Amino acid sequence: MNTNLSRQLAVVSAVLLLAGSLLTAQSYRARISGLVTDQTQAVVAGATVTLLNVHTGVKTVRQTNETGLYLFDLVDPGTYTLTVELTGFNRFVQENIAVQMRGDVTINVTLQPGTVQESITVSESPVAVQFNSAAKDFTIDARLAAEIPRIDRNPFKLTLLAPSAVNTRGEMMPFHSWAANSVDLGGGTNLKNDLQVDGSPIGIGHKNTYPPNIDAVQEVVVSQNPVDAESGHSAGGLISLTLKSGTNEWHGTAFYLGRYPWLNAIADRTRNVRIATRQHMMGGTLGNPILRNRLFNFFSLEYWKVRAPGSLVTTVPTALERDGDFSRSYNIDGGIRTIYDPWTTRLDPATGRFLRTPFAGNVVPRSRFDSFASGLLKQFWDPNNPGDNITGVNNFKVGLINTWDYYNFSDRVDYHINDNWKVYGRVSRYHTDNT
């Protein structure tokens, strides 16, 4: 075989193996398994087990092995129907199987003698059983995520519904990059949690790279004690979000939230409408099929234009200080703040310390002014009040308008190639200007 071709194949194989291991380690998908027996509790081998995604129409088929076991792994979160068939037995149908992110559902089936044309249908939802994991998970499903009102629209803050979760930082908006990880899940996990979207890590240090639109979130799983190897690089808990995918039906949502001064209660109105809160938040989602039962798309978008009154309190140079005169600049203890001449620095042989000589009268001569610094001083505001206590700190106060212009869009495509190959791709972006 050609040497270059061999090297290329080796590289491709290594990449595929690495990619496969990464996908396994970070998978947000679930699994469904169980045992098929007959009425005598004897195992049934060779039975056909079909798993149907109710919303997408995607079917996956497995056969029970010689011990009567079947397994569906890498199952996307959603609602499913399980069918078991074998000649000589009635068809068994289990409906309303709710599969959550990272879930592990066990459905054991007992087949009754009869014909395949006769069916036994179970509509009651089976209980999801978590085994093979020591994680303590708290799951927030799509309905709960949609019906919990949050003005910040930050899906990571849905974690505060978990009994053990405690918010640790005032930043709450989705574009606040510290907000997602500012939660203690028990045991000092603040800023140490692993953040994932669709099974992929999105954390950079203490911050996050992408906060999804809350209307596009399918589920949120909060793991207080994720000791599994897939979360081994985190010193805290795990917060994992799964985004919605399209289905065989066209579904869409739209929202608008507006706030205006003229809609406020009379007692809360302000004459200066220039600094009154104005809020425009809008967006929507659209899920649809591209090819029925095979290719699906889900798009989400939100846009904010928010104006809110605020204030700034700071300390600026006084007129005397701009002119180099610090004879009235006080320390916190009430003494004059001495200004030393840096060009007089010298070593005291007796003490081994460096000494400097104060400027005469505590005034910096104009000849020593730097031209750039002088120009920069002219850009500072003038003090507009005496300031606090004798030191004169906080001598400038002004009202202002805080503004947020924010947008967030995401588009996800899911492709069911066959029973063995499923792929998805997602493009997401958010941007904000805050002044």
Q: Label residue 14 by pLDDT band (50, 70, 90).
A: very low
CA distance 158 to 195: 13
Note whether 144 and 72 are same-domain residues: no
Helix (H, G, I), strand (E, B) or coil at 268: helix
CA distance 154 to 141: 15
Highest-pLDDT range among 143-157, 254-268, 359-373, 388-402: 359-373
Q: Label residue 20 by pLDDT band (50, 70, 90).
A: very low
Note whether 182 and 73 are same-domain residues: no
Which residues are within 8 A (CB) of 4 and not within 5 positions of it... i.e. 6 or more apart? none
Do 148 and 158 contact (CB within 8 A), yes or no? yes
Note whether 106 and 156 are same-domain residues: no
Q: Label residue 277 by pLDDT band (50, 70, 90).
A: confident
Q: What is the pTM of this model?
A: 0.71
Is pLDDT larger for residue 263 or for residue 419?
419
Q: What is the mean pLDDT of residues 282-293?
A: 95
Is pLDDT larger for residue 190 or for residue 45?
45
Is residue 305 in a domain? no
CA distance 111 to 90: 7
CA distance 59 to 81: 10
Per-residue pLDDT of 185-223, as tens digits, reads: 877 888 888 899 998 889 888 889 999 999 999 988 888
DSSP symbols for 363-376:
B--GGG--HHHHHH
Q: What is the mean pLDDT of residues 8-32?
A: 51
Note whether 324 and 376 are same-domain residues: yes
Is residue 19 in a domain? yes
Position 136 scores a pLDDT of 67
From 138-147, 160-169, 282-291, the region with the lowest mean pLDDT: 138-147
Q: What is the mean pLDDT of residues 28-43?
A: 91
Is residue 105 in a domain? yes
Position 233 scores a pLDDT of 63
Is residue 301 in a domain? no
Note whether 65 and 150 are same-domain residues: no
Domain end call among 243, 270, 304: 243
Percent of the chain with pLDDT over 90: 48
Write phi, then psi, for 192 (nearest 5 degrees).
-120, 5
Position 48 pLDDT exceeds 60: yes
Domain end call among 122, 146, 176: 122
Which CATH number is 147's domain given? 2.170.130.10
Position 249 scores a pLDDT of 93
Note whether 226 and 324 are same-domain residues: no
Is pLDDT larger for residue 369 or for residue 102?
369
Position 124 scores a pLDDT of 74
Note whether 150 and 197 are same-domain residues: yes
Per-residue pLDDT of 72-127, as tens digits, reads: 988 988 899 999 999 999 999 999 998 888 788 999 999 999 876 777 777 777 75
Other Cβ atoms less than 10 A from the Cβ of 237: the count is: 29
Note whether 323 and 345 are same-domain residues: yes
Position 334 scores a pLDDT of 78
Mean pLDDT, the chain, whole residue set? 84
Q: How many domains does the chain fold into? A: 3
DSSP symbols for 273-317:
GGGS-EEEEEEEEEEEEEETTTEEEEEEEEEEEEEEEEEEEE---
Position 231 pLDDT exceeds 80: no
Domain that holds residue 85: 3-122
Q: What is the mean pLDDT of residues 130-154?
A: 74
Note whether 139 and 113 are same-domain residues: no
Percent of the chain with pLDDT over 70: 85
Is residue 414 in a domain? no
CA distance 407 to 304: 6
Position 262 pLDDT exceeds 90: no
